[in-house]
Amino acid sequence: FFYLAGQFCCGFFVILILGNFWFLAVLYLLWLYLDWETPCAGGRRSQWVRSWTVWKYFREYFPIHLIKTSDLNPKHNYLLGFHPHGVLVAGAFGNFCTGPSFKNLFPGLTPYLHIMPIWFGCPFFREYVMSAGMVSASKESVSYVLNNEGGGHASIIVIGGAEESLNAHPGSLTLNILKRKGFIKMALKHGAHLVPVFSFGENELFKQVANPKGSWLRNVQEKMQKIMGFALPLFHARGVFQYSFGLIPYRQPIHTVVGSPIPVKRNLNPTTEEIDDLHALYLQKLRQLFEEHKRNYGIPEHKSLIFE
């Protein structure tokens, strides 16, 4: 969906250049040059955009719910690890970029959803995603958010990234996380408390063409992901008036459960061992969060998370 929206905005920009409005395109390019660093400096959110009525219908379609398990003291900064990526990342967008749920449950905290930097190079589209509260997933951007002296900032990072979207099959519980330790290092450097977040139902929104590891399709997808920076899962769901085929996600409830914070002391130069220890603790807390809540959201007792 991001890909299609980005292509639409880029296409509109090309029309301006080729049409009689080339001067508007030139002015926008000047603006783009002057505003290039904004996605790495907290973005430019708009409460008006975040409160659009369309997002209310978007959340109610599935529906999307945000579940709180513990208070988060606004005197601290937090790094929330969101799992799983899924195809749409609907839980992350619906809960952290729209509506009042996060603000009501965690007063005093401002959420920043980090997405791939490539999206901020799309003309016009970058303005839209920033207005919804999204910022770059670059190290500079995460540091900017977590470096708030007074606390009250929450970085939300989809830990599995684009690679994990290729595992987004209904019933899949595989997370790409064993080699992903950059977020742990960032939390240590800034003393940001870590919070595991699991979004039940995220992988149920679409059916994806079978792409087991080692298959020709998976190999092509992984090569494309390395080249372009984002994955291209081949997915389908329902149509507008029929349920057999289309690109509209299935109406499956999404319950995004925010776990308890893991206190982190600031360490400007963490050792590999310290990073590994905190990473292991984070995995333990993430698994515990999943096990405590899976029965509530239709996960069979014998099913558990798989870390890769």
Over residues 21-72, the pLDDT tens digits come to: 666 777 878 888 899 999 999 999 999 999 999 999 999 999 999 999 999 9
CB 38 within 8 A of CB 131: no
What residue spans define the domains of the chain? Answer: 36-307
CB 202 within 8 A of CB 86: yes
Q: Which two tokens stand for residue 210?
A: 């079978």
- The per-residue pLDDT of the chain, averaged, comes to 91
Q: What is the rounded distance in angstroms from the CA atom of residue 81 to the CA atom of residue 197?
A: 6
Residue 245's pLDDT is what? 86
Residue 159's pLDDT is what? 97
**pLDDT per residue as tens digits for the range 168-221:** 999 999 999 999 999 999 999 999 999 999 999 999 999 999 999 999 999 998
Counting residues of the chain whose pLDDT is more than 90, the rounded percentage is: 75
- Average the pLDDT over 90-116 and give the result: 96
Residue 6's pLDDT is what? 46
Find the DSSP H helices in 97-215.
101-105, 125-131, 139-146, 161-164, 182-190
H or E element at residue 184: helix 182-190
Segment among 1-10, 140-149, 161-170, 177-186 with least mean pLDDT: 1-10
Asked if pLDDT for residue 92 goes beyond 70, the answer is: yes
Q: Sorting pLDDT into bands at 50, 70 and 90, what band is 229?
A: confident
